[in-house]
């Protein structure tokens, strides 16, 4: 039987269990009856890529070399035509750059493949570069589309990339709230706390993030040192791994709060783990629309996070959580202590966050909007 589904290639740096990658995988799984998806990775297949291979998806690793590697663009062109991909969905700027460059090896008159460029987040610090603004004018074609995961990201694409605002749509990230129903199970909370060596009445803060400079775990750990002065029994549970973990472990020792911080590493049972938390924290220097914040809202957790990037679009200050300035450990610590000391506030804010999630940030809404864009770009019927 001939497969008539149009082919869409997700183009990413790699397929690890991180925000943009997880969203791309979920999009492919949910819409596989309408489109045939392949995955093209610039740098590494990753554990999520291996999982997708096991599910029957084509996952390609281009093995990008340091610097501008034009061989990557050539190989991408070859795989695009080998799999008859009509649309390249590039996640982040560098994947978009190589997707666009691959067309220079095809010929400007073919009109394919079209590119949908999704910007999930920005480097910090972010600034305008004249050469890149000029390059963008050469790389984008009239039939390409751009979308940002939030209004803050869209504004940066205009100011720092020189892209016209009228060409940039906003499609908010979204998750499936039902995946976090387990986090509201009282018996699950008891079981997970026992596994982690925590008492049932112990104040617990959780952060789920890779140990990367932009996530700024240092500020979160220093905030926890402030909390420990007021609530000596409070514990910060850190889920994730990365290059900065060793420095963070050393900081915990230097601050003498080893009894107040637990490092769990990479976990695949985050919904279950969130049942043990009282407050969710994110101490980032910059964010797009954070998936982990959405997951905390699905778990009905109040949030203490930094007032950066798209965080104010996700967390309504004094309604579903508390915001503090970037890098201000004392202010973040004050917000954590305030939430930990007030169960009624936690419950009210957790419920407000869950309601906000259902209104704006569901996976169903996100997937429907991407499918609409796919159909428009491919010329197929919705």
End-to-end CA distance of the chain: 23
Q: Could you tell me the pTM of the whole model?
A: 0.91
Q: Do residues 67 and 150 share a domain?
A: yes
User: Residue 108: what pLDDT?
Assistant: 44
Reported as type and span, the H/E element at residue 286 is none
Query: Parallel, antiparallel, or unpaired: how do β-strands 58-61 and 235-239 relate?
Result: unpaired
Residue 2 resides in a domain: no
Q: Do residues 216 and 74 share a domain?
A: no
365-372 long-range contacts (CB < 8 A, ≥24 apart) are 365/172, 365/174, 366/23, 366/27, 366/171, 366/172, 366/173, 366/174, 367/26, 367/27, 367/30, 367/31, 367/174, 369/171, 370/27, 370/31, 370/171, 371/31, 371/34
pLDDT at 209 over 70: yes
Report the chain's C-alpha Rg in angstroms: 22
Contact 200, 381 (CB under 8 A): no
> Which two three-digit tokens encode residue 55?
């599910």
Residues 161, 134: Cα–Cα separation, whole Å? 9
Q: Do residues 284 and 240 share a domain?
A: yes
Percent of the chain scoring above 70 in pLDDT: 97
Residue 193 resides in a domain: yes
Nearest alpha carbon to residue 170 among 373, 382, 379: 373
Q: What is the tens place of the pLDDT at every residue in 318-361?
A: 999 999 999 999 999 999 999 999 999 999 999 999 999 999 99
Q: What is the tens place of the pLDDT at every residue in 244-303?
A: 999 999 999 999 999 999 999 999 899 999 999 999 999 999 999 999 999 999 999 999
Residue 1 resides in a domain: no
Q: Do residues 206 and 299 share a domain?
A: yes
* Residues 145-162, mean pLDDT to the nearest whole number: 96
Q: What domain count does the chain have?
A: 2
The CB-side HSE value for 130 (13 A sphere, CA atoms) comes to: 0
User: Residue 18: what pLDDT?
Assistant: 81
Residue 141 resides in a domain: yes
Neighbours of 368 (CB within 10 A): 15
Percent of the chain scoring above 90 in pLDDT: 91
Contact 74, 104 (CB under 8 A): no
Q: Do residues 367 and 274 share a domain?
A: no
DSSP per position, 151-183: HHHHHHHHHHH---GGGEEE----B-GGGGGGG
Q: Do residues 208 and 105 share a domain?
A: no
Q: What is the tens place of the pLDDT at every residue in 53-65?
A: 999 999 999 999 9
Residue 290 resides in a domain: yes
User: Residue 297: what pLDDT?
Assistant: 98
224-258: string of b/e by CB count within 10 Å (b at 16+)?
Answer: bbbbbeebeebbbbbbbeeebbeebbebbeeeebe
* Residues 73-78, mean pLDDT to the nearest whole number: 95
Write the CB contacts of 86 (distance below 8 Å, at least 6 apart in sequence): 6, 7, 8, 112, 113, 114, 378
CA 85 to chain centroid, in Å, comes to 25
Q: Do residues 333 and 322 share a domain?
A: yes
Where residue 19 falls among pLDDT bands split at 50, 70, 90? confident
Residue 163 resides in a domain: yes
Output the CA angle 29-16-362, nearest 5 degrees.
45
Contact 94, 11 (CB under 8 A): no
Q: Do residues 327 and 186 share a domain?
A: yes
Residues 292, 207: Cα–Cα separation, whole Å? 8
According to DSSP H, which parts of the chain are helical? 19-30, 46-54, 70-82, 93-102, 130-139, 151-161, 186-195, 217-230, 245-254, 270-274, 291-298, 311-314, 329-340, 343-360, 363-378
Q: What is the tens place of the pLDDT at every residue in 179-189?
A: 998 888 889 99
User: Residue 226: what pLDDT?
Assistant: 98
The CB-side HSE value for 270 (13 A sphere, CA atoms) comes to: 24
pLDDT at 112 over 80: no
pLDDT at 371 over 70: yes
User: Residue 183: what pLDDT?
Assistant: 85
User: Residue 106: what pLDDT?
Assistant: 57
> Which two three-digit tokens encode residue 70?
């034009």
Whichever domain contains 183, its CATH number is 3.40.50.2000
Q: Do residues 36 and 57 share a domain?
A: yes
Nearest alpha carbon to residue 349 among 323, 322, 374, 321: 321
User: Residue 104: what pLDDT?
Assistant: 83
DSSP per position, 31-85: TTTT-EEEEEEEEE-HHHHHHHHHTT-EEEE--PPSS--HHHHHHHHHHHHHTTE
Nearest alpha carbon to residue 119 among 94, 144, 87: 94
Q: Do residues 239 and 168 share a domain?
A: no
Domain with 316, as residue range(s), is: 177-360
Where residue 194 falls among pLDDT bands split at 50, 70, 90? very high
Q: Do residues 337 and 310 share a domain?
A: yes
User: Residue 107: what pLDDT?
Assistant: 52
Q: What is the tens place of the pLDDT at every residue in 133-148?
A: 999 999 999 999 999 9
**Per-chain mean pLDDT for the chain:** 95
Nearest alpha carbon to residue 247 among 211, 223, 220, 283: 211
Residues 247, 263: Cα–Cα separation, whole Å? 12
Q: Do residues 206 and 352 share a domain?
A: yes
């Amino acid at each position: 039987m001939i497969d008539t589904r149009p082919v869409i290639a997700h183009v990413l740096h790699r397929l690890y269990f991180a925000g943009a990658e997880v969203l791309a995988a979920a999009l492919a799984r949910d819409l596989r009856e309408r489109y045939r998806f392949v995955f093209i990775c610039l740098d590494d297949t990753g554990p999520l890529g291996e999982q997708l291979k096991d599910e029957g998806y084509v996952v390609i690793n281009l093995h990008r070399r340091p610097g501008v590697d034009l061989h990557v663009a050539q190989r991408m062109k070859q795989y695009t035509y080998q799999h008859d991909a009509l649309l390249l969905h590039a996640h982040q700027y560098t994947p978009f750059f190589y997707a666009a460059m691959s067309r220079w090896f095809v010929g400007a008159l073919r009109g394919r493949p079209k590119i949908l460029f999704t910007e999930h987040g920005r480097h910090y610090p972010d600034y305008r570069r004249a050469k890149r603004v000029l390059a963008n004018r050469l790389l984008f074609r009239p039939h390409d589309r751009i979308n940002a995961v939030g209004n803050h990201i869209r504004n940066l694409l205009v100011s720092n990339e020189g892209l016209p605002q009228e060409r940039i749509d906003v499609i908010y990230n979204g998750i499936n709230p039902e995946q976090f129903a387990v986090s509201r199970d009282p018996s699950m909370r008891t079981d997970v706390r026992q596994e982690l060596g925590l008492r049932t009445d112990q104040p617990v803060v959780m952060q789920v993030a890779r140990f990367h400079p932009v996530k700024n775990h240092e500020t979160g750990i220093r905030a926890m040192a402030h909390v420990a002065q007021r609530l000596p029994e409070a514990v910060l549970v850190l889920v994730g791994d990365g290059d900065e973990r060793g420095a963070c472990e050393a900081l915990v020792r230097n601050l003498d709060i080893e009894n107040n911080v637990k490092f769990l590493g990479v976990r695949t049972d985050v919904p279950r783990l969130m049942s043990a938390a009282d407050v969710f924290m994110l101490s980032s220097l910059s964010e797009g629309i954070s998936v982990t914040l959405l997951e905390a809202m699905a778990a009905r957790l109040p949030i203490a996070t930094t007032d950066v990037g798209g965080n104010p679009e996700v967390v309504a200050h004094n309604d579903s959580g508390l915001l503090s300035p970037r890098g201000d450990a004392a202010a973040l610590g004050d917000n954590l202590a305030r939430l930990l000391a007030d169960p009624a506030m936690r419950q009210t804010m957790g419920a407000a966050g869950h309601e906000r999630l259902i209104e704006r940030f569901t996976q169903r809404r996100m997937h429907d909007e991407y499918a609409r864009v796919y159909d428009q770009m491919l010329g197929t019927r919705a």
